[in-house]
A and B are shown apart, each in its own frame.
Chain A
Amino acid sequence: MIETVNLTRKFGDLTAVDDLTLKVGEGEVFGFLGPNGAGKTTTVRMLCSLISKTSGEARVGGYDVGVPENALKIRKMVGLVPDNVGLYDSLTAYENLDYYGTLYDMTDSQRREANERFLKMLGLWEKRDTLAGSFSKGMKQKLAIARALIHDPTVLFMDEPTANLDPEASKSVRDFIVSLKGEKKTIFLNTHNLDEAQRICDRIGILNTRLMAIGTPEELERSVRGRRTVFALRKASDAVMASLKRLDVRNLVQDGNRLTIDIDDPEEDNPRVVDAIVAAGGSVVTVSILGGTLEDAYLQFVKEKPA
């Protein structure tokens, strides 16, 4: 549904998005993680045919975003929830949706039906005649999502949809995004929120101007190098500690009789560590591998960016 090949966007000397190559399948929820200024919003704007690319290729729904004649076709098939909700405060919830319906060439009856459907779906039907300016942040965010969905887009781009929302509103928005999976919509989600990405995304890309990593949340967690292994000993004697230091292990942390060590390849290295402990007269009670988290993966990949 979305495909980019070496997609690049420069602003003068500044490269905002560099050589981005990725594919997002139909019905997939794809999370785009990255720090501020990583190029996430620029990527979304290019994919929505809002700004041009400097080089490379990008296709949305089979349409090349580099061809100006495709811009309207692409914008017809996508919905955008920008990082700022951008509602018309002096219009009611219903009027906000209805206006967008007209811009998508929807007839009066289609708009009436869609307005009611989405306002009810997002729990805003009772507030349909209330000015959007008086809504809470969570309600505004829901209305912005309804607006992006009003024309039944195939692809939904969401830029930080739960930023600045309280936990309850965040959950409600997140639950709604999950419910869209059932409608087979392709969702491209820009977020800083690792927990959110892990909960709702099928795959995640970590962007820091360049795409640093891509995979399922589990794949990214597994890819973290230097996974920590905890060795619980009967007694962490001086001899054992000296033996481990000779083994040149990384990041050895002692907490009583618990030793935590960074191990690149647990299957290869853990037996060597156990052998060294036993050879030094120690005895191992348990060995447990602490899995890398998505946060570990994120921080590692983001730090990999060359200065």
Chain B
Amino acid sequence: MTSWMPWRVSKKDFKVIMRKKSIIGYTVGLPFVMAVAFTLVVQNDVVSANVSDASLGLSSLAYIFVILAAILPTSTAAYSIVGEKVEKSLEPLLATPTTDGDLLLGKAIAAFVPAILAVWAGAMVFMAATDYLTFRVFGGLYFPSWVPGIMLFLVAPLASALGIQVAVILSARVSDVRGANQLAGLMYLPFMATFFAGVDGIFPFDIASLLAIGGILLLANVALFFLSKATFNREEILTKWK
């Protein structure tokens, strides 16, 4: 009994990633470090704020997990593709009876799953701790609610997918993982701009706004899908990639 081809590719990538302590430490560690740091912020500032400010502060902090969802998989995807390029293992892999789509999807899954699970886990820790600390401020549980729910289960996965596609496209143009990560950093700017706009109250973190961000990310994902598909094909990889 053999499994779905992209899953076979993902399984190998999971195995390789699990043995790269720097990547696994970064992917799993960063959301938890953020969760602890944000909990301290909540403990020091939010619990003493009024309900309106506390609500804005918590939504802003929750949005950071969306940014993490965009950041984390780019390094895994870049490692998974540029790493193969550096190790020269792409050519024998391309000589197997797999389609370009199988390989691309397999690598995307391998980057997406650990990143989104780590983001969700980190967010859960933050939310549970926040609920414990702010129970008296709100007179009940602040989380779960629709706003962070949409952030984590709609916007964050779309941001992750976008990060992966950007990493795939950049992988064709750089020759080392660090270069791919540095260039992918540019992708975070719109997310950071949204975050600061939200903190300043210019951009409301409400359901309508988040659905709008989700729509934009969906369109961007569709556009980048065609670009990454055109980039990740055998002919391009073997004749044009740096």
Binding site for B on A (CB under 8 A): 11, 45, 48, 50-52, 72-73, 75-76, 78-82, 84-91, 95, 99-100, 102-108, 144, 147-148
Contact = CB atoms under 8 A, between A and B. Distances in A.
Contact of B87 (A89, A100, A106): A89
A51 B239 CA distance: 8
A194 to B, nearest CB: 25
Contacts of B3: 102
B136 interface: no
Contacts of B5: 103
Given A72-B97, A106-B2, 5 more contacts: A75-B96, A80-B91, A86-B93, A88-B12, A103-B98
Given A75-B97, A102-B8, A107-B2, A84 B239 contact: no
A88 B95 contact: no
Which residue, of B94, B95, B99, has the highest number of chain A Cβ atoms within 10 A?
B95
A90 B20 contact: yes
Contacts of B235: 50-52
A84 B89 CA distance: 8
Which residue, of B91, B92, B239, has the highest number of chain A Cβ atoms within 10 A?
B92
A88 B20 CA distance: 12
Interface of B: 1-3, 5, 8-9, 11-12, 15-16, 19-20, 87-99, 234-235, 238-239
Contacts of B1: 107-108
B239 A11 contact: yes
A47 to B, nearest CB: 11
B107 to A, nearest CB: 13
A86 B99 contact: no
B8 A72 contact: no
A149 to B, nearest CB: 12
A81 B2 CA distance: 25
A86 B97 contact: no
Contacts of B2: 102, 105-107
A50 B238 contact: yes
B87 A88 contact: yes
A95 B12 CA distance: 9
A52 B235 CA distance: 7
Nearest to B94: A50
A71 to B, nearest CB: 8
20 contacts: A50-B238, A76-B97, A78-B95, A80-B91, A81-B92, A82-B88, A86-B88, A88-B16, A90-B19, A90-B20, A91-B15, A91-B16, A99-B8, A99-B12, A102-B2, A103-B8, A103-B9, A104-B97, A106-B2, A148-B92
B95 A50 contact: yes
A86 B8 contact: no
Nearest to A105: B2
Given A50-B234, A102-B2, A82 B91 contact: yes
A88 B96 contact: no
Nearest to B96: A103
A220 B89 CA distance: 36
A82 B89 CA distance: 9
Contacts of A105: 2, 97
Given A78-B95, A102-B8, A148-B92, A86 B87 contact: yes
A100 B234 CA distance: 18
B97 A88 contact: no
A67 to B, nearest CB: 15
